[in-house]
């Protein structure tokens, strides 16, 4: 559990992502991490916006359903990030070869990163979900660079097969929108939502 300044309500992060955990810790509110075992399968015809909102909500709902009565004062946070290129959702690569294939598709172009945040009041069941969109532009990359980066394994658990906060930053020439959205948790959006659930970040 990450502890900082006192908060009137308890926060639960429905994610095992170390990136989301680190970002949430920067808000200096106490929270605990409870892994979500939500099913992430969605219909192929769904729009990217529908996909990311549904998955964020689904993660939060899965944790909410498993809570005991002592956690009724909690607010549960679920989040999901997807990469979208030409209207197609790029998820996490299954292996090094698929990671390299995704990077080839992204290099020399701009793509969208959508991250959704869902908050659920454990006591009342009230839920909200919103998303932010960021445009990321990558430089053209040599095949040797793509293969070498894929071999690092850094992008294997990342949507789009790269980590902007890691070595993957060498491919990024510009972003339009929230940087933290690309990392995996848009802090400005999250702070607004937490405020509406009775957890002001700045008092």
Q: Are 197 and 179 in contact (CB under 8 A)?
A: no
Q: Are 118 and 56 in contact (CB under 8 A)?
A: yes
Q: Which two tokens stand for residue 21?
A: 């955990």
CB-facing half-sphere around the CA of 121: CA atoms within 13 A: 13
Question: What is the rounded distance in angstroms from the CA atom of residue 108 to the CA atom of residue 141?
Answer: 7
Nearest to 56 by CA among 132, 119, 10: 119
Active site residues: 80
Question: What is the rounded distance in angstroms from the CA atom of residue 15 to the CA atom of residue 13?
Answer: 6
Q: Which two tokens stand for residue 105?
A: 């598709």
Nearest to 167 by CA among 142, 179, 150: 150
Residues contacting 20, CB < 8 A, separation 6+:
13, 79, 184, 185
Question: What is the rounded distance in angstroms from the CA atom of residue 9 to the CA atom of residue 167?
Answer: 37
């Amino acid at each position: 559990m990450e502890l900082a300044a006192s908060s009137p309500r308890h926060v639960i992060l429905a994610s095992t992502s170390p990136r989301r955990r680190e970002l949430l810790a920067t808000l200096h509110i106490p929270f605990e991490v409870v892994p979500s075992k939500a099913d992430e399968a969605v219909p192929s015809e769904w729009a990217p916006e529908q996909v990311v909102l549904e998955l964020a909500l689904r993660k939060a709902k899965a944790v909410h359903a498993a809570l005991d009565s002592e956690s009724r004062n909690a607010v549960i946070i679920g989040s999901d990030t997807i990469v979208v290129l030409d209207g197609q959702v790029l998820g996490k690569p299954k292996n090094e070869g698929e990671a390299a294939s995704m990077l080839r598709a992204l290099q020399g172009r701009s793509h969208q990163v959508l991250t959704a945040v869902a908050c659920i009041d454990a006591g009342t069941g009230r839920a909200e979900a919103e998303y932010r969109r960021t445009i990321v532009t990558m430089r053209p990359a040599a095949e040797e660079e793509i293969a070498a980066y894929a071999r690092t394994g850094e992008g294997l658990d990342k949507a789009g097969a790269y980590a902007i906060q890691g070595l993957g930053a060498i491919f990024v020439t510009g972003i339009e929108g929230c940087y933290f959205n690309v990392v995996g948790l848009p802090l400005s959006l999250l702070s607004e939502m937490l405020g509406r659930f009775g957890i002001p970040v700045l008092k």
